[in-house]
Amino acid sequence: MLRGYVDAGSQPWVSLTLMGSHGQIVEFEAIIDTGFDGGLCLPRSLAEQIALQEMGMQRVELADGSQHIEPLFLGEVVFDGVRQWADISLTQGADALLGTALLKNYQLEIRFRSRTVVLLKEQ
């Protein structure tokens, strides 16, 4: 089970850990974005702290409908206590995003009144 919180702007957040290929460990918080079907989207400033393996290029469609070609990276993330590989894209924005690719085996519960987030692994 993974727990998080809902901020004052009603955005759900969880804490994650990214493992670098040279032993670096970066802990960060990410917004749970159910409209993002990738794994992780990291701010460039965060990605520069850790060596990510570039996998190639990908076409992405943003919320405004615009499409772009961007590099795709592979990184090892600790999610719910388990180390796993995740596709990672980069953003110029300040916030990391957790997409649905890492949520596919989880039940997501967001309680706005109590400002809590629970991700429960489905059996």
The mean predicted confidence, pLDDT, of the chain is: 92
> What whole-number distance in Å separates Cα of residue 40 and Cα of residue 31?
10
How far does CA 106 lie from the centroid of its chain?
14
71: amino acid identity, one letter: P
Determine the pLDDT at residue 46: 85
Say how many domains are in the chain: 1
CATH number of the domain that residue 70 is part of: 2.40.70.10
> Looking at 61-65, 75-79, 108-112, which range is the least confident one?
61-65
> What whole-number distance in Å separates Cα of residue 20 and Cα of residue 59?
25
CA torsion sign for 30, 35, 38, 42 is negative
In this prediction, residues 101-116 reach a mean pLDDT of 96
> What whole-number distance in Å separates Cα of residue 112 and Cα of residue 4?
12
Q: Indicate the pTM of the whole model.
A: 0.90
Determine the pLDDT at residue 51: 78
> Looking at 14-18, 35-39, 113-117, which range is the least confident one?
35-39
Confidence of residue 63 (pLDDT cuts 50, 70, 90): confident
* Enclosing domain of residue 47: 2-121
Q: Does position 71 have pLDDT exceeding 90, yes or no?
A: no
